[in-house]
Amino acid sequence: MKKRLISVLLTLCLAAALFSSMSVTAFAADTIKYTLKSGDTVYGVCQSLGIDFYANYTWITKTNNIKNYANLKPGTVITLPAAGAKSDSATGTTPVEGSANDKTLLDGDFISGYLVPHVMKSGETVYGVCSEMGIDFHSNSDRIMKLNNISSYNKIAAGRTVLFPSTKAPESGSCVKIVAHKIVSGDTTYGICSSYGISYDGNLKLLQTLNNKENMGAIKAGQLLYLPVPAVISANQGGGANSGSTNTGTTAPAPAQYEIYTSISNGELLVQISGVTVTKAKAGDTIKVECTADKGYTLDKISVTKHGDAAASVEVAEDGSFKMPAYAVDVKVSFKAAA
């Protein structure tokens, strides 16, 4: 009897210790309280609790009056939406509008948000662009800086492309879908990127920023992995399958994607859609070839041909862009010695 009593007491003590180490308290119907510990980040806490950080970023920032996530200290109590909450104020892991009928997503994946590119014009401010897009600048200021590696809003030159986080896709034009993938045993970040036709190496910095993680190999089953997946939305789509439609009825199957093979020497080469480096694309996508010459070299020629058939060429514009045909292509960039 004495041994049994001791065993029960030990079990209760262990349970209490585990609960207190998490510092999580239920709060209202769809929120919880969490006390930050040394080494905690809000992103990491959300991961451990199964909460979609990006779908709830604005809500978390406003609710906790967070000016700078880096300044949060141990002992700070924050309010978070409960995982799976579906109220207007706290969305939990609920996908944003459009995930249900998006046939480009892998089974179980959903769209957590969007990154909308905008080319800054003379006289524009990030605050002003946010207002035009319906984005809360104060809640998203820190995130915009990290996404675009901005140190000061006073130093953004006209002509620079800035990514703006949004919960809605633009009515038309290019954007980046933030796709949330729940990791299962055996998954690798490289493999999931390949499944979506995006380059792991070419998008490493953006992946690290989206996932608040330096080592993208250190992923665990059950966590959400965020991926930047480019999309192009036409005005007459009305939010079609590729844009994240919520229309009911029959939806078209995911369009075929074709491989992009690259070849370069004396420089670096990136093949991109909406600033995201890709390894394959759909017919009709606008592809931008971004290349950088090694020291002592300058660009000579960019050529795009049908894969395995050099005689079948694809027209390349002066800015290095081309329309993806309905077949795989070879992209070759040559440099010559600078005069």
Q: Residue 59 is part of which domain span?
A: 2-81
Give me the mean pLDDT over the 181-199 stretch: 92
Residue 94 covered by a domain: no
pLDDT of residue 114: 92
What are the residues facing 288 on neighbouring strands?
272, 321
pTM of structure: 0.66
Radius of gyration of the chain, Cα coordinates, nearest whole angstrom:
23
Same domain, 281 and 231: no
Domain count, the chain: 3
What are the residues facing 79 on neighbouring strands?
33
Same domain, 201 and 164: yes
Question: Does the pLDDT value for residue 239 go beyond 50?
Answer: no
Q: CA-CA distance, 242 to 232, in Å (whole number)?
A: 8
For residues 74 and 207, the answer to whether their CB atoms sit within 8 Å is no
φ/ψ of residue 167, rounded to 5: -90, -5
Q: Which two tokens stand for residue 187?
A: 């998954």
Same domain, 77 and 118: no
pLDDT of residue 89: 39
pLDDT band, residue 19 (cuts 50/70/90):
very low
| Least confident residue range of 145-149, 193-197, 251-255, 317-321 | 251-255
pLDDT of residue 72: 87
pLDDT band, residue 62 (cuts 50/70/90):
confident
Question: Does the pLDDT value for residue 249 go beyond 70?
Answer: no
Residue 229 covered by a domain: yes
Residue 219 covered by a domain: yes
User: Sign of the C-alpha dihedral, residues 71, 137, 126, 165?
Assistant: positive
Question: Does the pLDDT value for residue 14 go beyond 50?
Answer: no
